[in-house]
Chains A and B, each alone.
Chain A
């Protein structure tokens, strides 16, 4: 006997003790698919036969079943299930998760069950137990379908049981093996002319008005509502039915299609909402045609899941938890969506905006409610642009995500509610942007695992998220601006050279060993890291970033805080950057109206003023009073040779302290106005449609160089050198350059692979390592770090944690930009930026 069950179902085995349910389950299902009540009894009580544990055992069983059904896994309940009250919660469970309940009944002779139980030492209950169960079972069989079981299989003899084979059938809606490409077409409503025009525009050849040949490998998907209201309903049906028959199209049903079908079947249906038009046009058709239409409509599947689950098409949309499932509720949702139970000013039901809360991974394309313009919202898009109401017929190319539309030739039907918003009423922000105003705490807190394009998954620990939440909430700029946070940067390995902590040769060696043959050495500016986002104008800031406060851009620090506390100064600053970008012709060149720049803003003292006043300057001030006083006292007692030796040491310390003060002073100057600031951009991170990681650093340097050239007062082009690591002479030249930079007091240099993203066989290579100068390092390791006894100890330092952190933050930062550029919802961008901030709170030696 062959039993066919849906591949996502809740299988309920029914039979008295001893009928062989467990053996049956073992024979036909994976052990992890079978949820046995006896096993659960054992879990909670250490006794698989404990009747006292029954309630707890079923709690556990139901709990596991819920988890499995949520995850879309077939589950088998191995319990006697002979009483209706035992089966009822299981049917409810299956319904809740939109899966089909299947009953397999093992209706074997009572005698056989009694015998089997007698042979088992652990089943020492009296014969009355099995007798009762058998009776209950027999009373149950007839009512199983009424109880809600969609498939009931009764096996009545041991032979039948042993002959069974089970076939699992994918649900009709499962078209995951169809990968496209597709052209998804909105609600047609009998607009035949517009439909053929649209198909032609998409490259479909139409012969004799009926036979359609798609362009290479493409197929059409109709979101339903082919009928009612429009002028040429039967012709639309003929065309679509033919395409479906030919395998050049898929079609899901719309509510109008279903209502027409009921009418054609002779049901009593009200002739409202344009059904009258269909009925009138069908009057001229043959009964055969009507029968074909009925059959076609009857066979339509509520919704389809395509392309490994990446695309879902349904008439009125589909919630994540219903995708790929089958139940009456799923069908209702696909046809009508959900309503809130309220009605609007036009007397129409208010729809529950499922898309606003959609968090699923699959793209959902739907129609049903006419909109003026299709708008992406959380990976969903409504492409019903009201052709029959005089709007247009829209299609979405998948996977390209391109929209194509054909305007309606005229208005065929008056909409009860004006769906074309009058121009002046058009909201300043898109629905997505309005939704993005409100981020949800569940999208950032707790332990999170973020998938990125560069590194498979990055884990954010809960305690780090706690810290990030505080910083983000209290200090960060509007998250809409926050599309990137820069990663931390590791220094090169510690130098083996005498008297030095860092030297370029370690950086060169690192990259060479990672298989990088060319690097770019950029002068490292000693200021503060700044991310600058600047738009072409206020309008671009509104459209692209959803900023309605009238800002044209933003400048923020590495932790997402606004760089300037002085709003007029920030405005003036951004205005200058904007003009420079414009003067360099970047808007047109990159076809963008915004850019995101990674920069260093100088002087250091502009942002680090407090740090300087609280830590750096005081250390120098104290040293420069104390050390000379100590030297004076020691010299007075220097007759003692031991004291004289000490005096000598203090002299050296004093010199070091003076060098330290000179070192930090070099990076400080007083900022009276914008004229005292310098901005050195070194990455042109992103612009419309692109994160510029495919361009190498020479492109970044060259493009930014042109921007800097446009305003040399504010902008500073970063000096750089390219070094071929396979050429020792070039390496020497790079080292020499570093020596010159640091000898004149520079911070040092940053060495990067020429490619923006470099990979070795172990994975990502450090995107940059810094090589800092000897004098600069006094600011990091203290005035006297160069004294031999200090340097010796400082040389032992581990870079592992820092480097791992740098890579994770790099991957997350770029992921944030990618998601922004791909117009994903803000929460998806924010998740990454928040992750960078959280990672920054990990304990890693801050001096590295």
Chain B
């Protein structure tokens, strides 16, 4: 909520000229989210400090403007927004320091163009990814960065450290640059962006990032975190950045390769899993297929490419996932013939559903581990007794393999929502019991690179009736 900028460039009070704010006065601004105040806690010729104090009004933000029907920008009165520096700071800076940010100064243009010793103190920044990000963002821009982390609650140390830091940045830098860096990077640190919504945010980012953002080693992370809720916009922004940066297509290519390398490990497993599922479906000659727990439609995309499949139904319990799947698969723009093959359906594996009856095959890929173990009984009857497709493909992680994931702490599951993960023996025991009970036969296939002791990362059971 408080930003102070101090300079020791003499005469220090020239800071007032650079900012176009008289050090003797209190300057207050009405903003959509509350107020902002500019004042000078110290103003001597040796040292001058300007303070920008944000007065965020949480009641106003929750309630929204008078006459506005849907709620306001915030959904909780109990909120850290009034006490942290966030995108609201950028808005306030735009109002209070607009001219300075554009690099213009009425009386001191020379000074404005000059790097001077500046120290910015931010109280406080919320940065959930940790303080490394603060260093990563500001150090490449030439600042010395000091951070102080604040505890969440002294009384309950077991709740862990909070995400809050007081940050001091110092360096020889033009005031204009410091302001623009803060304008772009404070919301990036905070990342809980309540304010940015429109398409012109891209323009703003580009404008304020002009001359430095394209060269920043973490520019992709910056863009992504700047617009975290606007994937579509983020992609557009990224494309335009590369263009402005360097119209060399190699750079774009490189960015993609980097991204891919980072995700390679799990990606390949996903591909292998889908490959194996498709292979099994081909081997059975299935034409009408259910993908149960289709999520955002990764497998559906592969299934659509299988021309031999005449009907593909994706079902998920998450409505949101289905919406995303629909967008990803561009369902509304699909040609009629294609569209007829694919249907998305909201449903649950906990309830018998006659819409699921009569299919050649069902795939249940990385789904069962998301069900509570005692509820598996319902799932078994819904699928194996009521829906009864001829072939059922079930994949689930092989718990034994987890020790091979270096980043995974011992004993932890691969995904936070996993209710259980099975060893090969557990899975095979379950599968054999199920197939016996419901009149299926089952065979097992490892997916992914197989370790002689631990088995493959994913295990697959293929049930046939």
Interface residues of A (CB under 8 A from B): 437-444, 466-467, 469-470, 472-474, 478, 549, 562, 605, 609, 612-613, 615-623, 625-627, 629-630, 632-634, 636-637, 640, 642-643, 646, 657, 661, 665, 668, 670, 779-785, 790, 793-794, 847
Contacts and interface: CB of A to CB of B under 8 A. Distances in A.
A730 to B, nearest CB: 35
Interface stretch (B109-117, B150-158, B218-226): B150-158
B296 to A, nearest CB: 15
Interface in B334-365: 346-354
25 contacts: A437-B381, A438-B352, A438-B378, A440-B353, A443-B351, A473-B317, A473-B351, A562-B372, A613-B159, A617-B159, A618-B126, A618-B163, A621-B164, A622-B80, A623-B82, A626-B84, A633-B51, A634-B39, A643-B26, A646-B37, A657-B83, A670-B158, A784-B82, A793-B59, A847-B77
B116 to A, nearest CB: 21
A634 B381 CA distance: 68
Given A441-B353, A478-B374, A634-B39, A780 B153 contact: no
B160 to A, nearest CB: 7
A206 to B, nearest CB: 49
Interface in B278-317: 317
Contacts of B352: 438-441
A782 B156 contact: no
B377 interface: yes
Residue from A440, A630, A668 having most chain B Cβ neighbours under 10 A = A630
B40 interface: yes
A443 to B, nearest CB: 8
A104 B186 CA distance: 86
A439 B350 contact: yes
Contacts of A609: 159
Nearest to B318: A470
A823 to B, nearest CB: 21
B80 A619 contact: yes
B84 A622 contact: yes
A501 to B, nearest CB: 12
Nearest to A669: B156
10 smallest CB-CB distances across A and B, nearest first, come from A782-B77, A636-B41, A622-B83, A441-B351, A473-B348, A626-B83, A629-B123, A642-B26, A622-B80, A441-B353
B353 A474 contact: no
Residue from A441, A623, A643, A646 having most chain B Cβ neighbours under 10 A = A441
Contact of B153 (A442, A478, A617, A632): A617
A616 B78 contact: yes
A627 B83 contact: yes
A437 B378 contact: yes
Given A473-B350, A549-B374, A626 B1 contact: yes
A840 B124 CA distance: 36
Contacts of B350: 439, 472-473
B421 to A, nearest CB: 16
A618 B26 contact: no
B26 A630 contact: no
B247 interface: no
Contact of A637 (B2, B40, B84, B385): B40
A612 B159 contact: yes
A784 B350 CA distance: 45
Residue from A474, A661, A793 having most chain B Cβ neighbours under 10 A = A474
B78 A794 contact: no
B26 A613 contact: no
A613 B350 CA distance: 32
A370 B325 CA distance: 53
Interface string B133-166: 0000000000000000011110110111011101
A466 B346 contact: yes
B59 A782 contact: yes
Given A622-B83, A665-B155, A790-B59, A478 B375 contact: yes
B39 A637 contact: yes
A441 B349 CA distance: 9
B188 interface: no
Contact of B124 (A437, A626, A637, A670): A626
Interface in B42-60: 42, 51, 53, 58-60
Nearest to B24: A640
B370 interface: yes
B321 to A, nearest CB: 10
A617 B156 contact: yes
